[in-house]
A and B are shown apart, each in its own frame.
Chain A
C-alpha cells in the first residue's frame, strides 16, 4: 500500500485533534460570560460619572486598563475558544499582541518620555 492511503488512514479517523467537536461550553455558560462582560463594562462606564472623577488620574488609568485587559482576555479565551483550542492559535495571536505592545510602547516612550518632540 502506498503512502497516499497510509496518510489517509492514519489521519482520517483520528478525531482527537478535531478541534470543533471539543466539548464546547453550553449556551448558558456563554450567557454567563456575557453577563460578566456587561458587568465590567458597567463599571467602566461608571468611572465616567462625576462621583469618581475626583479619583487620582493614575487610579483611573489603572482600573480602566485592568478591566479592559480582563474583558479582552475573556472574549479571547471563551468566545474565541482560545482556552479550548490548540496552543498554536494562542501563540500566533499572542505574538501579534505582544509585538504590537512592545513596539508601540517603545515608540510612545521615544516620543513622550525621552524625546524632544
Chain B
C-alpha cells in the first residue's frame, strides 16, 4: 500500500471523526493537547497568585501604626455582592458549556453573554470600589497596604478582563459559524480559565476581605 493511499484512508477516517479533532485522539495519553495546556498553565498560575497573596498578607502585618489599613476602607457588604456575582458567573459558564455540548446554541449564546456580562459587572464593581477607596485616601502609593492590595486585586481584575475577552471571542466565533458543538472543547477550556479566576477570588475574598483585620485607625 502506498503512502498516498494510506494518507487518504486516514483522511477518510478523519472525515467522520473530525468532530473530535481537537479532543486529542492523536495524543499518546488520549488527553487533548489544548486542555492539557490550559491545566498546565493553571498550575503555573497558582504560584503567580500565591506570590501576590503572600505579599499582601505579609505587608498587611507590617503596616506601620497609624497608616490607613483594611478596616478603614473595606466595605464588606458591597464586596460580598461582587463575590456572588462572580460565583453566579461560574454557574452560567458551566451552563453555557453544557448547552453547546448538547447542541443547544440558543442557550449557549444566552449563557455565554450572561457570563461575560456578570464578569463585566464584577469589573465595574471593582472599579467603583477602587474609586471609593481612593477618595477615602488610599492611593496606590499611599502605603504598603495600598500597593499590595491594589496589585493583588488588580492582577485578578486583569485576569477577569482577559476572561471576558475570551468569552466574547468564542461568542463571535460561534456567530461566524466557526465554533459549534464539535468545538465544545474550546468553550470548556475558556471555562476552565474562568472557573480558575473564580477560585482565585474565593481565596482573595476570604484572605483579604474576611479574615479578622487589625483595628481601624480612624
Contacts and interface: CB of A to CB of B under 8 A. Distances in A.
A98 B14 CA distance: 40
Given A95-B43, A107-B54, A18 B210 contact: no
Contacts, number: 168
Nearest to A71: B202
Contact of A96 (B1, B46, B77, B198): B46
Interface string B43-57: 111110111011001
Contacts of B184: 20
Contacts of B20: 15, 18
Interface size class of B (residues with CB under 8 A): 35 or more
B58 A75 contact: no
Contacts of B135: none
A63 B105 CA distance: 42
Interface string B187-201: 010011001101100
B90 A38 contact: no
B203 A68 contact: yes
A84 B184 CA distance: 16
A11 B205 CA distance: 45
Given A11-B26, A12-B17, A61-B212, A68 B206 contact: yes
B159 interface: no
B25 A14 contact: yes
A5 B84 CA distance: 51
B7 interface: yes
Nearest to B99: A27
Interface string A74-94: 011001110000101100110
Interface stretch (B33-41, B120-128, B143-151, B168-176): B33-41
Main secondary structure of the interface of A (DSSP, over half): helix
Contact of B87 (A38, A64, A96): A38
A19 B20 CA distance: 10
Given A93-B39, A108-B58, A8 B10 contact: yes
A98 to B, nearest CB: 9
A39 B50 CA distance: 26
A108 B13 CA distance: 56
Interface string A15-30: 1111111001011001
Nearest to B5: A5
A88 to B, nearest CB: 6
A92 B58 contact: no
A41 B80 contact: yes
B29 interface: yes
Contact of B83 (A15, A21, A41): A41
A12 B16 CA distance: 10
A92 B43 contact: yes
A48 B210 contact: yes
8 contacts: A1-B6, A5-B1, A12-B13, A44-B210, A68-B202, A68-B203, A72-B203, A96-B43
Q: Which 3 pairs from chain A and chain B are nearest by CB? A: A96-B43, A17-B30, A100-B50
Given A48-B76, A93-B39, A96-B47, 11 more contacts: A12-B14, A14-B30, A16-B30, A17-B31, A18-B23, A20-B188, A89-B31, A93-B46, A100-B46, A100-B50, A107-B54
